[in-house]
Amino acid sequence: MTVAAADRPASDSKPIGLCLDCNYPLWGLSTPRCPECGREFDPLDPASMNMGRELTATAKWVLGPIRWPVSFMTWAALAFALWSARLPGGQVRASISLFILIGLGALWLGWPVLRVLVAREYGWPTSLLMRGQKQRVAVGLSLALASIAIVYGWPLRAALWISKPAMGHLAADTIQDQQRNWQDNRRVGLFYAKRIVQTPDKKGMRFTVEEAANGAYRAGFAYLPAVDPSRVGWSKKSYRYLGGGWWAWREEG
């Protein structure tokens, strides 16, 4: 709420500044506290007031603090993207989700620049611009690094490194089981293995960890220790060698 000039007492001097929260003109006050919103200020410290012109609602939003729902949703989106990118199908890397993640990173990294421009336009004290700046840059850099990690497949390799001991036990059990060519679904490290089967030659095995609801898309891992990856001509889109006899595979029907 802003007091009009015609309503000011003639004996009052000009306002020494505006309240940073509500734009109330700070003059003629017995205590250094905004009577409108209760925010404290120091008459001798220009940084505790808005010494420029009145802020619009949009400008206050740009210059204001980061609200916890915004931070929570951003970190949740980042975590979900990395968790989904651990799967061998490469769906996140090939979908619009990656571009959304990149866009969010650019937005967070560009936000401090926008704040500086708006602050200059409205005469906002530059000392207040540091509030939340480090958090904005940290979130932006985290989103950028997550995007790079997804492009290069680092979440998949990290999940594979964590899950390899359990996957190795599953492979050994499946190959040694000559009585049947399947086992029950089970948790294997960071993956949930389904459709566990031996290869026809009984020297390897494979299982599914990702599939579409309609069954038109599947992806998983195959353990093929007898296959030389340098001598096979499999499409890299369908099979990708991960080392140690393990392959990531995907198929679309």
- Tracing tokens 């007091």 back to the chain, one arrives at 3
Count CB neighbours of 87 within 10 A. Answer: 20
Tell me the residue type at 41. Answer: F
* C-alpha to C-alpha distances, 69 to 1, 65, 83, 164, 219, nearest whole angstrom: 27, 12, 21, 37, 34
pLDDT of residue 15: 53
pLDDT of residue 235: 63
How do the pLDDT tens digits run along the chain, 253 residues long?
A: 444 444 444 334 455 788 887 888 888 788 889 988 888 988 888 778 888 777 788 887 888 778 888 889 999 999 999 999 999 988 898 889 899 999 999 999 998 889 889 888 887 777 777 677 888 899 999 999 999 999 999 999 999 999 999 999 999 988 887 666 566 789 999 999 999 999 888 889 999 999 887 777 899 999 999 888 887 766 666 888 899 999 999 987 5
> Structure tokens of 18?
């505006």
Is residue 193 within 8 Å of residue 208, measured between CB atoms? Answer: yes
